[in-house]
Amino acid sequence: MNDVLKLEIQTICVVHIFAIVLSIAFLMIFLIKARKNQALNWFVVVQLSMIGWMIFKIFKTVAPNVTLRWLFIVAYYICACILEIAFLEFGYTYYTQKSLKRPVRMLLWTVVVFQVLIIVTNPIHHLFYKTYNFWTDSFGILFVLHTVIEYAFIGVGFYYCRKMFKICFEGKNAMYRLLVSSAILLPLFINVLFITKVIHRFVFSLGWYVIFDLTPIVFTWSMFVFVYATFKSEFMSLSPILRHEIVHKLDTPILVLNKKFETLYQNHAYQSKDICKPDDLKEYLITSKTPDVIELKHNKRYIRVQSSWVQDQIILIFKDITPYKVIESELQNKQVELNQKNKILSDHIGLLKESSKIGARNYVARELHDIVGHSLVVTIKLLEVSKVYYNNDRTLSMNALKDVSDSLDAGLLSMSHIRKGQISRAYSGNLLKKELNRILDAIRYTGIQTKLSVKGLEKEIDDKVYDIIKKIAKELITNALKHSGAKEIFVSVKVQVNDLQMMIIDNGEGCDELIEGNGLKGIRSRLDLVNGNLDYITSKGEGFFSKISIKTS
């Protein structure tokens, strides 16, 4: 063994062992940082196949005989075949986050198995290695086919990796993306130079005759770059992939700009919708260095833009608020209409208040008419009785005067209740009977005979109905005292569940043609309030008959 061969063997062993140690160290660091997923599994297979390639390269170099040398050559070519399929699987899974479909995977692995069979059976056909011995070798046509297939697999894997690099390192400068891409491209470039003998010619031109395949060694560079990228930019982490997938598919338009307001990223929603451009916001963005919100009008639409500065980048989130603005405008118009209607309603309320005052005055006038009229009529009659009996029966005369005082006191008390808004309430036929008895008792000294009949003493009476019945009875009895000259008055009341009836009959003079005055008109207006009705019959010399009917349900 000459000195050149010894130097070559030593160099190959030392360099490869150093590269193996570094590759294993980098792989362990990488596994600690990277998240566990299917893409990581294939990446580990890629690196292990590369480490195996280097190990078997060492064994081939130090093999003591041609048989072992050939076995180790087959072994490291098998590692190279595994490398190509594993790298394609890694690139595809890394980008799509799903594995190859089963039929496709079976086809690709069939190609790999075919390559391995070509290498293993080379002693039979010599189409992979045209010539081979312990010292020298030359390649045949199937080696070229193997190389084309290997580069095709790695090229497809690199295509998917490159698409993922664009997503992961978007916003990074071109040199950084080139550095990461070199982790794949550099070993391939070195391998091409070795296969085409360019490296050989260059080394020989320097007068140095130690030459070997540097491809697996240069892959140590790829491990170093991937470890660096993983720690710096979360390379081989699921989070950048998921962030991109989530953000890119959001319905909310999102735009990322650099400090020069140049577009770094725009998701699909921003690309597909007619959203205002960065130039439309430039003046606002220059003056706003903190998270802020702005609303602007763009192409007859209202857009709300939320901006957030993150280091030297600004994230813009757009939201079309046109529907809200339309609703807001409609609400404002409705508010104007409502204010106008409120004004009209206020005016009507003012009119109603005035009408209510007039109605209240009319009500008070009717009440006072009834109270004063009844009290005066009774008082006059009692005074006449007192005058008649003053000389003959002082006791009867004084009793009549006392009744005059009681009648006046009752009238004043009723007027006081009206002034204070207090109206007496009754709730049963029994209480109504007592009230009517009180009214009739006040005229007992006038010489008029009275009789009262009340049926349904336990039946309940609505307070409004009770008040109206009491006042109507007082009005009709007062009319009998004033106008009829009656000697007898009969009052009958029948209280039932659904109605109330009252009849008042006197044997006064009566008349053939009765003209309704304020008294009878007041009675009818009161009855209208409770769905009541007034009927009366009278004729000359036949007295006066009145009937009041009120439906209570």
Residue type, 50: M
pLDDT over 60 at 233, yes or no: no
- DSSP-assigned beta bridge partners for residue 139: 129
For the chain, the C-alpha Rg in angstroms (whole number) is 58
pLDDT score at 410: 63
The Cβ of residue 219 has, within 10 Å, a number of other Cβ atoms equal to 27
DSSP state of 482: I
Residue type, 522: G
Band the pLDDT of 267: cuts 50, 70, 90. confident
Which single residue is written with the structure tokens 């659904």?
498
SS3 call for 497: coil
Give the CATH number of domain 428-553. Answer: 3.30.565.10
Buried/exposed 427-457: b ≥16 CB within 10 Å, e otherwise: ebbebbbebbeebbebbebbebebebebebe
Q: Which has the closest alpha carbon to 407: 450, 433, 438? A: 438
Worst-scoring range by mean pLDDT, 136-140, 368-372, 514-518?
Answer: 368-372
What distance in Å separates the CA atoms of residue 116 and residue 75, rounded to the nearest whole number? 10
Q: What is the dihedral of CA 46, 47, 53, 58, to 10 degrees?
A: 180
pLDDT over 90 at 82, yes or no: yes
Higher pLDDT pick, 148 / 191: 148
Domain boundaries defined on the chain: 3-242, 249-320, 332-423, 428-553
| Burial class for 490, CB neighbours closer than 10 Å (0-12, 13-18, 19+) | middle
Torsions phi, psi for 466 (to 5 deg): -60, -50
| Burial class for 477, CB neighbours closer than 10 Å (0-12, 13-18, 19+) | buried
Which single residue is written with the structure tokens 């020989």?
204
Residue type, 256: V
pLDDT score at 424: 45
pLDDT over 50 at 506, yes or no: yes
Tell me the CA distances in angstroms from 183 to 159, 166, 361, one per residue in order. 14, 15, 103
Band the pLDDT of 76: cuts 50, 70, 90. confident
Band the pLDDT of 411: cuts 50, 70, 90. low
pLDDT over 50 at 307, yes or no: yes
pLDDT score at 176: 60
What distance in Å separates the CA atoms of residue 323 and residue 329, rounded to the nearest whole number? 10
Give the mean pLDDT of the chain.
Answer: 75
Band the pLDDT of 311: cuts 50, 70, 90. low
pLDDT over 80 at 426, yes or no: no
Band the pLDDT of 238: cuts 50, 70, 90. very low
pLDDT score at 492: 93
% of residues, the chain, pLDDT over 90: 11
Higher pLDDT pick, 325 / 418: 325
Q: Tell me if 28 sits within 8 A of 76, measured CB to CB.
A: no
CA atoms within 13 Å, Cβ hemisphere of 121: 10
What distance in Å separates the CA atoms of residue 117 and residue 482, rounded to the nearest whole number? 139
Which single residue is written with the structure tokens 């070509």?
118
pLDDT score at 423: 47
CA atoms within 13 Å, Cβ hemisphere of 276: 24
Q: Tell me if 232 sits within 8 A of 240, measured CB to CB.
A: no
Torsions phi, psi for 419 (to 5 deg): -60, -35
Q: Which has the closest alpha carbon to 183: 199, 197, 168? A: 168
pLDDT score at 154: 83
What distance in Å separates the CA atoms of residue 484 and residue 473, rounded to the nearest whole number? 15
What's the mean pLDDT in 288-300?
A: 67
Worst-scoring range by mean pLDDT, 172-181, 315-324, 441-450?
Answer: 172-181
| Burial class for 281, CB neighbours closer than 10 Å (0-12, 13-18, 19+) | buried
Tokens read off for 248:
């890119």
Tell me the CA distances in angstroms from 465 to 476, 497, 553, one per residue in order. 16, 13, 12
What distance in Å separates the CA atoms of residue 144 and residue 138, rounded to the nearest whole number? 12
> Which of 113-127, 173-187, 354-368, 429-443 is predicted most confidently?
113-127
pLDDT score at 18: 79
Buried/exposed 372-388: b ≥16 CB within 10 Å, e otherwise: ebbbbbbbebbeebbee
Structurally, at CATH architecture level, domain 249-320 sits in 2-Layer Sandwich (3.30)
What distance in Å separates the CA atoms of residue 535 and residue 523, rounded to the nearest whole number? 11
pLDDT over 90 at 116, yes or no: yes
Tokens read off for 15:
């360099």
Q: What sections of 63-173 are H helices per DSSP?
A: 66-96, 102-120, 122-125, 141-168
Give the CATH number of domain 3-242. Answer: 1.20.1070.10
pLDDT over 50 at 513, yes or no: yes
What's the mean pLDDT in 317-344?
A: 79
pLDDT score at 403: 67
Q: What sections of 196-321 are H helices per DSSP?
A: 198-205, 215-233, 238-248, 268-272, 278-287
The pLDDT tens digits of the residues spanning 3-23 come to 656 766 777 777 778 778 877
3-242 and 428-553: same fold? Answer: no
Higher pLDDT pick, 128 / 27: 128
pLDDT over 70 at 283, yes or no: no
Query: Left, alpha or beta for 385 (phi > 0: left; psi -120 to 50: alpha)?
Result: alpha
Band the pLDDT of 425: cuts 50, 70, 90. very low
What's the mean pLDDT in 314-341?
A: 80
What distance in Å separates the CA atoms of residue 262 and residue 260, rounded to the nearest whole number? 5
Name the pTM for this structure: 0.43
pLDDT score at 117: 94
Q: What is the DSSP string of 151-170?
A: HHHHHHHHHHHHHHHHHHTT
Strands 499-506 and 292-298: unpaired
Strand runs labelled E in 299-342: 301-310, 313-320
Q: Which has the closest alpha carbon to 213: 24, 79, 309, 36? A: 79
pLDDT over 50 at 241, yes or no: no
SS3 call for 26: helix
Strands 313-320 and 254-258: antiparallel
- DSSP-assigned beta bridge partners for residue 428: 460
Higher pLDDT pick, 289 / 547: 547
